[in-house]
Structure formats: structure tokens, C-alpha cells
A and B are shown apart, each in its own frame.
Chain A
């Protein structure tokens, strides 16, 4: 005879986490559906990374062949930034051995959502080894005194 086991809270949490993971996978895969290049805008989407620590949010962007002088960082809203950079030279599909597509690329462009509230005015940026690093201090609220 089959026994009906009551599901423990851990089972429920486990299922919930699995469901969340599936949703995350789906979002990632949907994002992957679009190409990393845009022929009309002549732009390539660079690889980027966002690290959140207790006091700052650090964004890095990989910009090989970018002209360091042309890098622009724009704050579009409280939690969205845009990075653009011109390339030192035009890049064609042929440069990658691809001859069945046509197009040339002159710039990098990407929009990066910030996962935590930041003080955009305190941001600092530097360009090291072809990688752009932008550091934002995280927004501070107020302190609660321990009695």
C-alpha cells in the first residue's frame, strides 16, 4: 500500500528553488536568442559583468580593439547605464572567416541594468588591459543604533 508522506517545508523550498532556476534559465536563453551584433547600428555587444559587494557595485566591460578615448558611459536611469566605444578599426564578418553574412562594425554598445541602488555621482571609471571598470558606491540609508 502506498503511504502518503506529508511534504516537508524543505521539499517545498526545494521545489520552489528548482522552479526559480527554470525561470532563470529561460530568461538567460531568451536573452541569448538575439545576436551579439547589429549590422544596422554597426555595433557589437561587448561582454560585461556586474559584481555587487557590501559597499559598491562594480561593472566591468570587455572592450578589445576599442579606442580608449572614445569610451562613453551614460547614466540612463537610476538603474540603467549605457556604454559605447568606437573601435580602432572597422571589423567585418570576413575578419572572423565568415563570408555568408555582410556587415561592418565600428562600435561597441550595450546597456547594463544595475541590480542595487547606487550613488551615480560618486562613480569612478578606469580602463585597464582592454577592460573598462566602473565602480559605483551603493546608496546608504540611515543607521539604526543598538541600544
Chain B
């Protein structure tokens, strides 16, 4: 192999095998370089506004994406009983593996140092808007996407009220939901790991 490379190098030296342009001539004959890639291949088609609207269902922490509608915990109790209780328990106590939804302990967020703490909406979730985003996309599990905005706001109000995050008569809507400050809001920190020496 080495001898072959030397021979090739010698041939190149004589024949000037890397001439200007997009080809090389040598033992393999003339070999062309690939054409440079375009900035765009112009593959795919333009999405229509209707297509975007149909799938653009996410809600962020500012409440962007929340639809019109409203509901309170009283209305939410009925929605919860009908749609949620069979998996999450009558009072949101959870039915493993279906998670517990209600509970404020440990109020000091000591999840790392205790081994018995169970995460709930009230003790762990940093943003109330996440409830709307998640329920709309995935709940109830056997019929996702079937609850109306009023039902969704109402059941969220029930979950938050049961967690003592909002008063029972507080109405949840596109304005009030993003304004709810969750108990664990300030418990979350950015990732400070970066590889290298030392363990974090």
C-alpha cells in the first residue's frame, strides 16, 4: 500500500494530478469533485395557515396559546370525577402508576434528601400553564383531546384549589391561569454540569 502511494505521488508530480478545477487525474483516471451543495434544496411545501392552526396547540409559561373559556373548582369537581378520578383517585391521591396530583408535602422541596416524598402538582410543578398544555394534548388517556376549554379550565381550577394554590372560587381563564404562582416556581436551577473533572 505504501509503495502504491509513493508511486501515485510520483505520478502526480509528473502529471500534476491536482489541476485547477473540479477533477483529479491519476491512477483512478479522472475523478470529479461533488458539486457544492446549495443553500437550500427547496424540498417540502409551504404550510397553510389552517395546517399550522390545527396542530399549534402548545401553551407556554406566559400563557401564549391558551384558548378562550373559563372554569372554577366547583365545575371542575364534576369534570374531575367524570374524566380523571378513575385513574388518579377520587381526591387526586394517585393510583400507581398513575401519578398523585394533590399534596403539598414536603413544603420545603426536600426531594433529593428524602426518599419517600411523592411529587405532585402542588409541591413540584413550577408552572400552572403546563396543566393546560398537558391535559389538552394527552388527557384523559383513553380519549385525549376531547375535553372542552371550559372543562379543561375547570378541572385545572379543581386541581389547583385542592392543592391550596388558589381559592376554591377563583376562576381560571387565559388571563388568570398564567398569573398563578406555583409553590415550587423558584426551586428550579439551570444545568451546571459541563463534563471535565469533578462531579456535580
**Are A and B subunits of one complex?**
no
